[in-house]
Structure 1
Amino acid sequence: MPDAPRTPAPEPERTWIHEFADSALEPRRLASELVGTFLLVVAGAGGGVVDVFSHGQIGRAAAVTAPALTVMAVILFMGKTSGAHLNPVVTLAFCLRKDFPWRRAPAYIVVQLAGAALACLVLLAMFGDTGSLGATTPGPGAGDLQAAVMEALLTFGLVSTILGTASGAQNVGAIAAIAVGGYIALAGLWSSPVSGASMNPARSFGPDLVRWDFSSYWVYVAGPLLGMLVAVGFAYVLRGPGGADPMAMAAAQGVYVPRPPNDTGQVTRSG
């Protein structure tokens, strides 16, 4: 009697792990980081530019709140695609936590810098070299070292907020966007007169590149890097080593983790 035809084995279900490893998805992730950082810097640098252009009609409070609200919106509308890092130190923090692959970090950082530069080119075309294109520099009476320490302190809080809301242990779901945006606004409201409250080497890179003035740029690299390293160490103290929390990996890499049946919890988003 002839053997019955064998039913082919079903293809394995595509999971978020496969998406992490799928290099074909990288162009859309990089496009998301480019556009997201562009929008962040248009708001962050543009607030100062338009304030000068309009002879002070915006004010400092609005200028520092605008990028915070932009980050909140960007996390919500494209965070699922790329993780919405928008900041080289956020990318490096996720890598150090083993929630994001190192091999993807260089491209992320390059497009973040490119998005920031493109934003400042647009501002230059619209307004000329008004308001120094929103460049972040130490404020009146503040030295470079004082501004660098301020940037380290602010970035420690920012990265701690991002890593914490990305973690399953502190899962707050989509409200993570509000937490991150709220922190950025808070930091700017009380500290921008000292350092500009950049907390982001890409945001500071854009105006400096277009104006070709890097005299204080080290402040906005060294300070955020130091703050990020302290925040990663603090995350280790709070939650142990990274790389084992599926929710944190999903938040960092841009894919929601599928919930088990009957699980009504939300998956964290982070920027």
Structure 2
Amino acid sequence: MPHISLSKKLGAEFVGTFILIFGATAAPIVNDKYNATETLIGNAVSAGLAVMIVIMSTGHISGAHLNPSITIAFATLRHFPWVQVPAYITVQVTASIFASFVLKLVYNPLLSGGLTVPNVTTSQAFFMEFLITFNLLFVATAVATDTRAVGEMAGIAVGATVMLNILIAGPTTGGSMNPVRTLGPAVVTGNYRHIWIYMVAPTAGALLGSATYAMVKLKVREAEGIPTRNRVDDLSFPL
């Protein structure tokens, strides 16, 4: 791949994260403010489409992480350089807060419908966010790091996973899967209720989801039908 400057990567990551937070948060706000009929399905579709279009438009520039948990998981498994992690997370957090202030300006004020807060016990909320982020990273690691996975269909695969996860977890936790999806609206509204769940659980789930795919991933010789017994395969990290 051609060299891409860090400034361009960060610019793409900022715009992509802004689009994601704006789209994923606006739908539940519209439902709450205007009594719209989008409901849970509409919220899921809005977030999934936001992820899909951002991956397809900026994935070739920044990788379209849009999520500190993804950045940390990819760096941990050597799919992404650790030296760029602080810059990526800083941009993701900044874009989330900026998008949330824009939402407040547009919808005046940012209503509780845009927040992700638990509607279940703390342990249930933690496990749900852990599980859905595991799902997300298992799929994201496959399509982003394995040339034998769907490749150019990555945006559709990850977007569909986001939709599925929100349909599963939306009523209980809001289906965040992303620390900055929760952080931006929390900062603007001053509502930090159980915010630690949305910082810790997605990151832990992301690490395990990404590591799980790495364990089941076919090595080059296995994919070609060549026995791998009695030898150590080289790990390949396309990113």
Instruction: Output the TM-score relative to the length of structure 2.
Output: 0.88
1:91 aligns with 2:66: no
8 A Cα contact 2:117 2:194, kept in partner: yes
Residues of 1 paired with 2:81 and 2:174: CA distance?
31
Who wins on radius of gyration, i.e. which is larger? 1
2:211 paired residue number: 233
In structure 2, give the amino acid aligned to 1:231. Answer: G
**1:61-102: CA deviations, max 9, x gaps?**
111210111110011111111000000011111101111100
1:199 aligns with 2:177: yes
1:166 aligns with 2:157: no
1:221 aligns with 2:212: no
2:126 paired residue number: 148
Aligned residues: 226
1:43 aligns with 2:19: no
1:245 paired residue number: 236
**1:77-134: CA deviations, max 9, x gaps?**
1111100000001111110111110000001001101111111101111112343261
SS of corresponding position for 1:218: helix
1:27-38 equivalences in 2 (<5 Å) = 27-38=7-18
1:61 paired residue number: 41
Q: Structure 1 stretches of 5 or more lacking a match? A: 1-14, 250-271
Residues of 2 paired with 1:133 and 1:206: CA distance?
13
Deviation at 1:59, TM superposition (A): 1.7
1:74 aligns with 2:84: no
1:126 paired residue number: 106
SS of corresponding position for 1:158: helix
Query: Cα RMSD (Å) of the superposition?
Result: 2.0
Q: Structure 2 stretches of 5 or more lacking a match? A: 220-231
2:82 paired residue number: 102
Structure 2 CA distance for partners of 1:130 and 1:183, relative to 1, 3 Å: same
